[in-house]
């Protein structure tokens, strides 16, 4: 990323690859990706804290013991090590993904 990222440009880069996600920016502990799974979200828990900003679509989001509806524009937080995934999402679903902080996540205090 030189100066900025837009959902449109990120999705265009993602389409050029055969993966549901692509890393677009990295600085210090921050990594920004675009994620667009095809029908099924196969994620497993991550070793760092994670923030999603939903670009498009809607569906359900499993985050530990909680399952909630989500829509475009929402910000979703997942602590390191917690099971999570998007379920029953629309075909246009896409989200920014931001990993940050140390392995094992940051302290909540």
Structural domains in the chain, CATH included, are 7-100 (2.60.120.10)
What are the residues whose beta carbons fall under 8 Å from the beta carbon of 4, sequence distance 6 or more? none
CA gap 98, 10 in Å, rounded = 14
pLDDT tens-digit profile of 5-55?
Answer: 889 988 888 888 888 999 999 999 999 999 999 999 999 999 999 999 999
| pLDDT value of residue 95 | 98
| pLDDT value of residue 1 | 47
| pLDDT value of residue 108 | 75
Region 65-86: mean pLDDT is: 97
What are the residues whose beta carbons fall under 8 Å from the beta carbon of 1, sequence distance 6 or more? 24, 25, 32
| pLDDT value of residue 2 | 55
pLDDT of residue 89 exceeding 90: yes
Nearest residue to 70 via CA among 47, 83, 88 = 88
- Confirm whether pTM is higher than 0.85: yes
């Amino acid at each position: 990323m030189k100066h900025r990222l837009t959902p449109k440009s990120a999705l265009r880069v993602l389409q050029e690859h055969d993966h549901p996600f692509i890393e677009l920016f990295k600085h210090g502990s921050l990594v920004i990706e675009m994620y667009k799974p095809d029908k099924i979200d196969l994620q497993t828990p991550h070793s760092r804290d994670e923030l999603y900003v939903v670009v498009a679509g809607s569906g359900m989001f499993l985050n530990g013991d909680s399952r909630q509806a989500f829509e475009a524009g929402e910000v979703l937080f997942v602590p390191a090590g917690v099971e999570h995934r998007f379920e029953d999402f629309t075909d246009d679903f896409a989200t920014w993904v931001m990993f940050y902080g140390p392995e094992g996540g940051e302290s909540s205090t």
